[in-house]
Each structure stands twice: as C-alpha cells, then as structure tokens.
Structure 1
Amino acid sequence: MTHETTRPESHISAQSPQEEQADTEAPRLESSVTPQQAPRSADVDSAPAESSVGPSFVYAIGRIEPQFPSLSTEKEFAQVAGVSNTGGLTEPEVLRRVLGDPANRYLARQMAWVLVIESMETYLLVPRDLADIERLIESVRPAPKRDDVDVVVGVRGPLAPPELARGLVIPIVYFDQIYSFDTDSLMRSVPRDPDNLPDKFDDAARDLFERMVLVGDNAGGTDAHRALNYLVLRYPLIYAKSAEQISLNSHLVSVDVHSSSLGNGVRRVVDVVFNFNNRATDVTESFFVRVDVTEEFPFLVTKLSSYIRR
C-alpha cells in the first residue's frame, strides 16, 4: 500500500462535466446527515445502518493543526527554533521550517496532529506507517489560507488518553491517506465542457462543495458522511448536474442518503439522492448516485441517473 499526499488535480477523476451553481438557500440533507441550515429534520430511520462488528472507517474533511502535547515539547520546539535560521519568518513559516527539517523529525513525531472540523477539534491523527509523518508535515502551510482543506482517510480507534494531546480527549484516527489542497485548486481540477458551460460554473461548483462539506455534524465517520465526502472530491458529475439544473431555473433543495437494497446484507451500499426544485413550476426532479462504503475507501457503484421515488 502506498501512502501519499495527492495533489488536488488527482482528487477529481476526469469525466464529463458542466457544473453546478447553487442557490443561496441551503439544501437539506436527509437520513443521518443534517445541514446547518436544513429546512427539515433528518430522517433517521432511513439512515444506513453502521456495522457493529469490524473497524469503523473515517473519510473526513477539515484542517490539520499541529499542537504541542506537553509543555516540555513546546519548550523544546522553542529552543530548536531559537537556534534555527528563522529570522523574519512568520509563525506558520517557523512551524513548517522546524518540523520540516529532517534533523527535527523527533519533534514532528511528538506533536499532537489534530483534525479540526468546523472549528471543532475532532480527531487525533496517528500514521499507521511512521514514514507517513511526512504527510502530516506537508499539511503545515507556510502561508495558510481560509480555504485550505485537508482530507483524512483512515480507521477510527479509541479515545486518546489525555497525555497525548495536553488533556484533549478525542477519538484517534489511524490514517492511511491524506490529501492537502485548497478549494481554488480543487475547483480548477473539476473537468468541464467549454462548448456547453453554464454561466458562473466556478461559483456554482464552489457553492456545492461548501454546502456538502459544511453539513452539520459531518465528521466523516458515518456511512452517509463518508459517501458525501467521497462524492464531492471524486465525482465531478454532481457539479455538472447541479450547474445544468441551475441553467434550467432549478436549485438544489435537499440531499437524501438511503440504504440501498443492493447491499443484500453483505456490503454497505447507499443511494445519495440530489433533489432539485424548479422555481417556475415548483416541480422537484431527483437524481441519484450509488456508493459502496463497506470498506475504508468508498467507491462508485452506479453513475448519476434519474431517481424515481417508490
């Protein structure tokens, strides 16, 4: 298994797009997912069941922040920074330079690497392979921006003991993969058809991305959240369909996540349904994509197509 930080261009696989432009009203996300501005409550009964046996997987989107786990580590870092060539550097630049120095790998291994989701310290990150400490170091931006994004794929472990993160008690995630990028780079990587490109395609794509990842309580730990996070990063046709619907005077009003009968009790498969309402006719049209979330890495089962409610 190779572990590497993927550049944003590889997050979105090349497929036909035309993208989404989303309305200022936040869409609803049903099942086990409820957006912060959802007009209706979650339908818990339709949420896919989580397995009580086996590992619990995480596919989370947030920001990785290195924190000092103890006062002694903080003091050691300060001493090393004091004798390093850090004159004229900002604090983020100092952090990256010191931790990025191979001679200081012992410090990088001592740091508490925390994934922050919507300003909440959510997971303590631990590499399954110690060589992947480099992936964590690369997530430290010398010039951080508000739209910086880190994606963590791994296995959820127990709660971290207080001494690992200076009293912070949050779940450990043993990660296998990290993506670090910014939203602008992700949007540029979304394939598009220049001959059939809706107006404000880029704005629409960004809006859909933000709506999906900012869904309330999306810690990337449930089947529904993992499927959503996988789709916004790996399946550009959802952007294309949303943009197409915007050009038809329709807007995204909700996203439903339902357990699919295709799993047959053997695999965990979910249907992610995107519902668009036409402003002129008040008719709702739905499209769905099917995702297998049985194991650590979700994958597409059925491509985006029309959805007919039974």
Structure 2
Amino acid sequence: MQENMTQETTPQGPGLTTDVYGPTPARPSGANTVVASLQEKEQSTCQTCQTPAVTNGQQNPNFVYAIGSIEPRFPMPSIEKECLQAVSRMNGTSGLSDQQVLKKVLSHPSNRYLARQMCWVFTVEGLETYLLRPRDATDLEQLVEAIRPEPDNNDIDVVIGYRGSLAPPEACNGLILPMVMIEQVYSFDMKSLLKSMPTPEKMSPGQFSPIAQELYKQIIHMADNAGATDEHRAMNYLAVRYDAIYTVCAEQYRNNYSLNSVQVRPSRLSAARKVMDAIFTFTHRETTVTQKWFTRVDVTEEFPYLVSPLSPYYVYEQQV
C-alpha cells in the first residue's frame, strides 16, 4: 500500500501572486441586453444556453477556467455593413489597421449596440472552442478591451464562467460551438505575467524568464486543455495565479534537474469538496534521480483556490 505525506514546514518562496489583472470590477445592477433572458441571476434556467443557473451555490453547472484568445467576429453580413457605416462616421481612422479601427469603433459609447451584436469566439491553441456570452455590461466592456490593437502570440486571455449547450447556427454565422456564460475575463500578455513574478535568489531575470515561459507553455499545451475538466481548471489556475510553481521550477533547473512531467489527479483528501493534487516531477540530468513537488487546488466552485502551498511530495511503501 502506498501513501503520500508532506513536510510540516513550507518551503521558502512566494505565496499567491499579486493579481496581475487588477481588482475585480463591480457589476452594474442592470443586465446586458445581449442576453435578454438573463435579466436576473436568480432565475432557474439560462434561456440562452439551457444551463441551470447558479442559485446560492446549489446547482453544479459545467465550470470553465480556460486560457486562450478572444476574437470578435461578425455574426451576419448586416452587422458587418452596419459597422462599416459606423467607421465612415468616425474621425481619426487614417493610418490605423483594421484591428485598431474595430476596437476604436466598438469602444465608442454610441456604438455599444454593435458590441452587443458581435460574436465573441474563444480559441484555444488556435482552435475555435467556445462562444462567449456576456452576462452584463461589465462583461461586454471586458470583451471589447480584450481586442488588441496589435495582436501578438504572447497575448493571454483567461475566461471564467460556465458552459452551456451548443450555439444555434444563426448565433455566429453558422459556427456551432458550446456557449460559455462568462463571469470574469482577464486579459494580459506574457511580459506582464513574468513581471509580476519575483525573481528567485541567485538568478537574474534573464535566466528566469525563459524557464517560466517554458513551464507556462507546457501547462497550456496539455492535451485537449479547454479548461472544462477539474484537472485542467486546477492547472490553468496555477499557471496564472500561483508564482511558486515557477520559482521551484527555476530552482530545480539551477540544480541540474529537468521538468519531466506535470500530473493532476483527485486528492485522497477529497470528500465533500473537489480537491486536486498537481504533481511536478523533476529528474536529475546526470543521476536520473527524481524529485516531486505538489500542491492542492480546490475546484468545487466556479473560482478555484489554493488549499496547500507547494511542498515536497513523498511516496513510500508500507508493509501491511
């Protein structure tokens, strides 16, 4: 029989990273007309996505914590033509790219009706994965702000919400994808993420950045990581909210270890709540000796949180 145990002491390193996205904005009391059926969160069913609404935490919808990119698209030709009309009425568009003009138009208060009509596609690793549905005006503003005037491969969008049914063909010009009712959207870039992390001792920022980027890419490249399973939600949460995993990885690299695998599985301590163990396995490049570190994440509700800090992971055999 195998058991796992952790040390009593917590290894040195940063705790929860400072939120690089800023404080969560307060939501307005009025509901967004883009989803007229969601005027009150207390209603029993989401008319648009046919998913039970969360009522005092009693329902258990399919939560999503996904990392990818948000792309605005025109759901039908008439909306595209209307947008072109709005562009013709605006000044200061000379010399701007189409992406810059689109953000300028949708950001203008008089064109908010166009933003409500847009189709917001969420892609993961370049694959169309979800159609995003804002719940109120704040969500719509976050979607508009996610439009980058100068798109880059290092741009990162994090979407938190719950998944509904497939969108009808008319929702986005024939594109049929699962709809996600969004609760929060974070938009930043890799440079901002790295800047928010403290550099480990005896290591320069130039040495730390490549290691952190490599670990981040390994996490988001996990097979079929659409942020919909408990395992992927836990891993995505750690990737953007817990800098200790990057610090430990950098220290292991400095000690001539390489990251061999990242595994997420249900914790043996899970009972009334869903707790996941994230295990990082490092192998020495010369001796092939392995070291393991792990942390626990609670994914019971929509917003995951850290249960225990990153600690050495021990496995031993006990005679029964």
Alignment TM class, shorter chain as reference: 0.7 to 0.9
Contact 2:295 2:310 in 1 (8 A): yes
CA distance in 1, matches of 2:223, 2:105: 36
Provide the C-alpha distance between the structure 2 equivalents of 1:130 and 1:159, rounded to a whole number of angstroms. Answer: 23
Q: How does 1:1-310 map to 2 (within 5 A)?
A: 10-11=19-20, 54-85=60-91, 86-193=93-200, 195-197=201-203, 200-264=207-271, 266-310=272-316
Shift of 1:166: 0.6
Deviates more, 1:252-261 or 1:82-91: 82-91
What displacement does 1:232 show? 0.9
Contact 1:12-1:190 within 8 A present in 2 as well = no
Match of 1:262, SS? coil
Letter paired with 2:190: T
Q: Percent identity?
A: 50
Give the secondary structure class of the aligned counterpart of 1:113: strand
Residue 12 (structure 1) shift: 8.8
Contact between 1:62 and 1:149, CA under 8 Å: does it hold in 2? yes
SS at match of 2:279: strand
Aligned mates of 2:298, 2:138 — CA distance in 1 = 29
CA distance in 2: counterparts of 1:12 and 1:231, whole angstroms: 15
- CA distance in 1 between counterparts of 2:301 and 2:237 reads 13
- Structure 1 stretches of 4+ with a deviation exceeding 4 A read none
CA distance in 1, matches of 2:202, 2:244: 14
Quick check: 1:9–1:185 contact (8 Å CA) kept in 2?
no
Give the whole-Å Cα distance in 1 for the aligned partners of 2:86 and 2:208. Answer: 47
State the 1:11 CA deviation: 3.5
Shift of the 299–269 alpha-carbon distance from structure 1 to 2, 3 Å rule, reads same
- Name the aligned partner's letter for residue 141 of structure 1: R
**Contact persistence 1:56–1:156 (CA under 8 A):** yes
Given the two structures, how large is their TM-score scaled by the length of structure 2? 0.79
The letter for the 1-side match of 2:241 is R
Structure 1 residues 103 and 220, CA gap change in structure 2 (3 angstroms): same
Q: 1:83: how far off?
A: 2.3
Q: Distance in 2 between matches of 1:57 and 1:196?
A: 40
For the aligned residues, what is the CA RMSD? 1.7
> Which has the greater radius of gyration?
2
- Greater RCO (Cα-Cα under 8 Å, separation 6 or more): 1
CA distance in 2, matches of 1:139, 1:12: 12
| Structure 1 residue matching 2:176: 3-state secondary structure | coil
| Distance across 2 between alignment mates of 1:147 and 1:9 | 20
CA–CA distance in 1 between the matches of 2:296 and 2:21? 17
